[in-house]
Amino acid sequence: HIASLKGVSNKSERKDLVESLLNKTNLWHVRNKSLGTYSGGMKQRFGIAQALIGDPSLIIVDEPTAGLDPAERIRFHNLLSEIGENTIVILSTHIVDDVSNLCNNMAIICLGEVVAKGNPSELTEGIKGKIWKKGIEKGDLEEYQSEMQVISTYLKAGQTIIHVLSDNKPDSTFEPSKANLEDVYFAEITSRMALITD
C-alpha cells in the first residue's frame, strides 16, 4: 500500500521491493501476521522498511530504540548502521548508547542552541582524565555542587555517586572515572543550566 502511494505502480516491481525490504529489516518471516501483533522492535523495523521505499537520500529517526529490549536494540543498531552506508541518517535521541554505536558526527543541543558537535570519540577524548567520581551521602550533595562542577549523580547500592569535571583531582577521596559520552553530554548541559538557574 505504501509503495503504491509512493509511486511504485508496477505490481511485479512493487512485490520485489516489498520482499527485499522485509528481508533487509528481518521481517519476511512475519509478513503474513497482523501489524498489531508485532513487538515494539518489529514495528520500528517496519517503519524503517516503509521509509526506505523510494530509495531516500535522507532518513530522520526520533528515539528509534526507546522501549526496545537489548536484543532488539542491537538488531536495530545493525539495521541503521547498514542503512547509513548509503543513506544519510539523522538520529534524534537521548540514549547515549545509540549515539556511541551509530554516529560518526553528533551535536548536543541545549535550549535550542548547538553547544557541542563533532565525532563522539573525539568529544569524549576532550574530557579524558578530567572526570572524577566519589560516593557521598545524599544530604551532602548541595555542598559538593557549590564547591565543584558536579555534572551528574546516580544511586548505586543506596549511595549517591557524583561525577565531577575538573582538570585536577578535587581531593584525595575522589577516584578517576573513565570519561564517556554521557559525561560529555552532562558537562555541556549542566554548565549551561547552572547559568540559567543562578
DSSP string covering 11-39: HHHHHHHHHHHHHHTT-GGGTTS-GGGS-
Q: Is the pLDDT of residue 194 over 80?
A: no
Position 168 in a domain: yes
Q: Residue 197: what pLDDT?
A: 52
Position 8 in a domain: yes
Position 170 in a domain: yes
Q: Residue 126: what pLDDT?
A: 94
- Do 7 and 88 share a structural domain? yes
- Do 95 and 8 share a structural domain? yes
pLDDT tens for residues 14-66? 899 999 989 888 899 998 999 899 988 888 889 888 988 888 899 998 888 88
Could you tell me the residue range of the domain that residue 180 belongs to? 124-197
Name the helix (H) or strand (E) containing 165: strand 159-165
Report, in angstroms and rounded to the nearest whole number, the Rg of the chain calculated over CA atoms: 22
Question: Domain ends where: 103, 134, 167?
Answer: 103
- Do 95 and 177 share a structural domain? no
Contact between residue 80 and residue 89 where contact means Cβ atoms under 8 Å apart: yes
Question: Domain ends where: 50, 72, 103?
Answer: 103
Position 112 in a domain: no
Q: How many Cα atoms occupy the beta-carbon half-sphere of 106 within 13 Å? A: 25
- In the chain, the number of structural domains is 2
Q: Residue 169: what pLDDT?
A: 96
pLDDT tens for residues 52-90? 888 889 999 888 888 788 888 888 888 888 888 888 999
- Do 85 and 17 share a structural domain? yes
CA proximity to 152, closest of 161, 140, 144? 161
What mean pLDDT do residues 172-176 have?
A: 96
Whole-angstrom distance, CA of residue 87 vs CA of residue 52: 10
CA distances from 70 to 49, 65, 117, 176 (A): 21, 9, 27, 29
What is the rounded average pLDDT for all residues in the chain? 89
Contact between residue 175 and residue 152 where contact means Cβ atoms under 8 Å apart: no
Q: Residue 3: what pLDDT?
A: 87
- Do 140 and 92 share a structural domain? no
Whole-angstrom distance, CA of residue 12 vs CA of residue 5: 15
Q: Is the pLDDT of residue 196 over 70?
A: no
Q: Residue 124: what pLDDT?
A: 95
